[in-house]
Amino acid sequence: ATTAPRIPSTRLALHHFDTSYSLHLGALWPSVRAGLLCEQKYGALLNNFAAADHVPQELELLNATDFISEASQKAQQWQQVVAAGGAARGCQEGSGEGRTGMQAEIMTQAKTSPLLSASISSKIKCYTFPRGDITRFRPARPDALGLLDYYLMDAASLLPVLALNVQPDDFVLDLCAAPGGKTLALLQAGFCGHLAANDISVSRTKRLYQILHSYVPKEVRDTVSVTTYDGRDWDQVNGGTFHKVLVDVPCTTDRHSAMEEDNNIFHKRRTKERQMLPMLQLQLLMAGILAAKPGGEVVYSTCSLSPLQNECVVE
179 is in an annotated binding site: yes
Closest CA to 183 of 196, 171, 168: 196
> Does the annotation flag 181 for ligand binding?
yes
- 53 is known to lie in a ligand binding site: no
- 218 annotated binding-site participant: no
199 annotated as belonging to a binding site for a ligand: yes
Burial class (CB in 10 A: 0-12, 13-18, 19+), 85: middle
Count of alpha carbons within 13 angstroms of residue 153, beta-carbon side: 21
CB 242 within 8 A of CB 175: no
213-244 core/surface letters (b: 16 or more CB in 10 A; e: else) = ebbbeeebbeebebeebebbebbeebeebbbb
Catalytic residue among 126, 192, 251, 303: 303
178 is in an annotated binding site: yes
Q: Is 85 annotated as a binding residue?
A: no
User: Is 180 labelled a binding residue?
Assistant: yes
Rounded to whole angstroms, the Cα distance separating 32 from 191 reads 35
Q: Is 30 marked as a binding-site residue?
A: no
State how beta strands 192-198 and 170-174 pair: parallel
- Residues forming beta bridges with residue 174, ordered by sequence position: 197, 246
303 catalytically annotated: yes
94 is in an annotated binding site: no
Q: Which residues are annotated as a binding site for S-adenosyl-L-methionine?
A: 176-182, 199, 230, 248
Catalytic positions are 303
Q: Could you list the residues known to form a binding site, using ranges.
A: 176-182, 199, 230, 248
